[in-house]
Amino acid sequence: MTERNPFGSKASLQTKAGTFDYYKLDALKDVADIAKLPFSIRVLLESALRNVDGYTINKEDVEKIATWGPETAGKIEIPFKPSRVILQDFTGVPAVVDLAALRSALQRMGGDPEKINPQVPVDLVIDHSVQVDSFGSSESIKINEKYEFERNRERYEFLHWGQKAFKNFSAVPPGTGIVHQVNLEFLAPGVCQRDGAAFPDSLVGTDSHTTMINGLGVLGWGVGGIEAEAVMLGQPIYMLMPEVVGFRLTGSLKEGTTATDLVLTITEILRKHGVVGKFVEFTGPGMVALSLADRATIANMAPEYGATMGFFPIDERTLEYMALTGRDDDQIDLVEQYCKANMLWHRAEDPTPSYSANLELDISTVEPSLAGPKRPQDRIALSNMKGNFAKALDAPAGHAGFALTADDHKKTGAVEGTDATITHGNVVIAAITSCTNTSNPSVLIAAGLLARKAVEKGLKTPPFVKTSLAPGSRVVSSYLEKLGLDKDLEELGFYTVGYGCTTCIGNSGPLPDNVAKPIRENNLVAASVLSGNRNFEGRVSPDVKANYLASPPLVVAYALAGTVTKDLTTEPIGQGRDGSDVFLKDIWPTLDEIQSAIKAVLTPEMFREQYGNTYTANETWNAIKGQDSAIYNWDEKSTYVQEPPFFQDMTLDVEPIKPINDMRVLAKLGDSVTTDHISPAGSFKPETPAGKYLTDNGVLPKDFNSYGSRRGNDRVMTRGTFANIRLRNQLAPGTEGGFTKDFTTGEVSTIYDASSNYKAAGTPLFVLAGKEYGTGSSRDWAAKGTILLGVRAVLAESFERIHRSNLVFMGVLPLQFKDGDSHASLGLTGEEHFSLPELSDDMTAGQDIKVVAKAADGTEKTFTVVSRIDTPVEIEYYRNGGILHTVLRQLAKA
């Protein structure tokens, strides 16, 4: 028995695709009752079992996962090695930049740069950049794609180089579809095969809605860029053993309801229960009755209900969907044979696994719903929409209110060039958008059928509604065209505007001037209705305050009504060409009509045809004159892509861990400082350090774009770190934003300018913080920017798990106050010089570390903190200066 197979679990499996090695879970039957484990935990277990190496993953790790239970969930840290990585273009660019920088560094160190490649398959889908500038025209898609390429030329040239330069890396061109739908319909194998072994498909992605793939029985969720890079380079993710909430589904959808209504209901239930940081696993006869597209709709919104993921185990429905979407017969057989052989096949008649908690929903009780006006978990029954909006207008400002006065209620505005007048509640954006729903033929075809019936009745869309259709893949366009429903949608203004996320991620584009003007002048609470998953305040459009999530057919219905102030269950949507009232029930398609249409057009050949030329279909992408070299030729003039300085002065030799002395405090912070406070996000102004940098480089403010679009340029991102306008640094009382006291001058300045002065003086930096430091989204630049500002250590009362590991991955030392201690209780002002005199190369995981704080008058205060470098592997990362440095040296020495 070798260390790599300590449980003797390696076996052989015969399939149509060939004979494969695999690692049997039932080899652990003497350790635990595997049949009682949730299916999602079994996938984590298989990964550990297959990857035991005695270093990153040990025999004990396998035993920990095998004995999962409520008493260990949320308390024990475990390693996980996903099978692959998926990226989108905003968050994927910095990951590819780092790979390119590693190649440049390896060449400087005398190594072979072509050794730098992802160790697991990586797919990047370009889907976040298209914006709805043009709408309501057959030319809209061409116009929007033209603008997309003009705005993103530098980024696209860089990604075009990356797809040719790296092995194990592919870039899906713009105009193909939304990353999660392309993953679901095309990229995901269900079961992977590599080096003669078969194993479950699993992944992490740099987008929160990566969870959509859970509907296909694939374990995966969204992570920050550093975790994704770690997986790309063959390293495990370290995570707390998850709690798993079992969600039993019974019954089936009734007439008039959709999968969107179902997921909004589930989101409401799970938010109330509380599943943040947990897995949700669906089971029960209702799950078996759902189509796989319906399952994917539910899995997609895991971030909205707060879960790490919403998992549906593999079963017959999975195989049916793989066949429908044109997957190879041998691959489908591999999925079936492997899952049945290795305890990963779900049978309705099998005993229900053990869960941390259990919930249940009868699907037949679901009613037509929307969610809003500002949060996806705030479900509203369609019959309550009119009253809910009326209450929201008067409710206090917050997630459910707009605090209008009596005078505000009276305001209206004329829409120039039309006979229309708008007021509060008028729908000015109606968008069929987002991976949540565009992957589901039942709701897209329902929207088309509703449009057809509306056109037959003579209904029209009011002139102030900005309508758009952003299909999640070209397959959607194909089946709508075959049914002739594209023409019906276009008749109501729903022309295809592009293949991408569009409105759901805030790329709704500007409203027409004649609509935006009366909204702004009268401070109107205008509304949007979108088939997306996120409707946070300010996200959809700066001019639209009330944003509602809804199914695609309801998006069309509200576009026709032109307002959310009607009760569509009792009031007419409008008047037909004969002057008679038309009600929603008159144009709503039946479930039989929808299913008949699906069966008439949806075939495997359609998917094979549309995905057969995925990588070559976009001629504009093909025409990019990108570099053709192993090393990227960095352009010093670029304001989008720059070589980061992480590896520029690096040598093969690893310096021992040494004391850090005389650190000055860059920021003294309170509790609940999030990664949004730390990491650059959103837009920025000319007077900020990032704005000044771009201005100095000839970029006009109108072309600043956002921090997100410039994530490949460390010079912009470092200047935006700790620059959030809501950050409160106690070293600069009375200020809000990225300011600090610069001890080199004694003056208050921007954090970036102070950092530059400290670097010139050779002074290392320190951050003091309170509880829950680094909560929120796991943003890679929260850690990258910290190290680039010169911060060597962060001392907090507690850390969010992912940000703690990200700091270690970038070579920053996370330190935690002893229980009961804080910078307040210890009387630390932040003006002291901080030293770690006993830090040494002999450090161990989780050890106590002495801190000396020396005040200006020479008095010293000594106290002990805990190192939050939690594992021996992390010590090696820290010693090397970070995880990427570790991998680089390993490759250089090899």
pLDDT of 536 strictly over 90: no
Residues 6+ apart with CB under 8 A from 713: 638, 639, 640, 641, 642
Q: How confident is the model over 660-690, as pLDDT tens digits?
A: 999 999 999 999 898 878 998 777 899 999 9
Residues in the chain: 894
Is pLDDT of 777 > 80? no
* CA geometry: angle 840, 845, 849, nearest 5 deg: 50
Please state the rounded mean pLDDT for residues 873-890: 92
**Those residues with Cβ within 8 angstroms of residue 724's Cβ, 6 or more apart along the chain or in another chain:** 676, 677, 678, 681, 737, 738
Tokens encoding 500: 């991408």
Question: What CATH architecture is 84-365?
Answer: 2-Layer Sandwich (3.30)
125-to-6, 8, 503, 585, 702 alpha-carbon distances in Å? 39, 39, 18, 39, 27
> What count of other Cβ atoms lies within 10 Å of the Cβ of residue 272?
11
At residue 811, the pLDDT reads 96
Q: Rounded mean pLDDT of 560-566?
A: 98
- Measured from the Cβ of residue 757, the count of other Cβ atoms closer than 10 Å reads 14
Pick the CATH number of 369-611 from 3.30.70.1380, 3.90.1210.10, 3.30.499.10, 3.50.50.100: 3.30.499.10
Per-residue pLDDT averaged across 120-144, rounded?
A: 95
pLDDT given at position 706: 80
Structure tokens that stand for 663 in this block: 């650190």
Q: For 7-27, what is each residue's pLDDT tens digit?
A: 999 999 999 999 999 999 999
Whether the Cβ atoms of residue 565 and residue 529 lie closer than 8 Å to each other = no
**645-679+721-893 has which CATH code?**
3.20.19.10
Domain boundaries, the chain: 10-65, 84-365, 369-611, 645-679+721-893
Residue 1 confidence class, pLDDT cut points 50, 70, 90: very low
Average pLDDT, the chain: 95
Q: Determine the residue type at 568.
A: L
Reply yes or no on whether the pLDDT at 75 is more than 90. Answer: no
Rounded to an integer, what distance in angstroms lies between the CA atom of residue 747 and that of residue 751? 11
What's the rounded Cα separation, in Å, for the pair 669 and 656? 30
For 604, the token pair is 């495997």
Q: Tell me whether domains 84-365 and 369-611 share a fold.
A: yes
DSSP-derived 3-state class of residue 268: helix
Per-residue three-class SS string for 271-340: HHHCCCCCEEEEECHHHHHCCHHHHHHHHHCHHHHCCCEEECCECHHHHHHHHHCCCCHHHHHHHHHHHH
- Residue-wise pLDDT for 341-391, tens only, equals 999 999 989 999 999 999 999 999 999 999 999 999 999 999 999 999 999
Q: Give the separation between CA 437 and CA 830, rounded to whole angstroms.
A: 50
- Name the phi and psi angles at 485, rounded to 5: -75, -20
Least confident of 106-110, 293-297, 749-753: 106-110
In this model, does residue 778 exceed pLDDT 70? no
pLDDT tens, position by position, 211-240: 999 999 999 999 888 889 989 989 888 888
Report yes or no: 382 and 310 within 8 Å, Cβ to Cβ.
no
CA–chain centroid gap for 799, Å, is 21
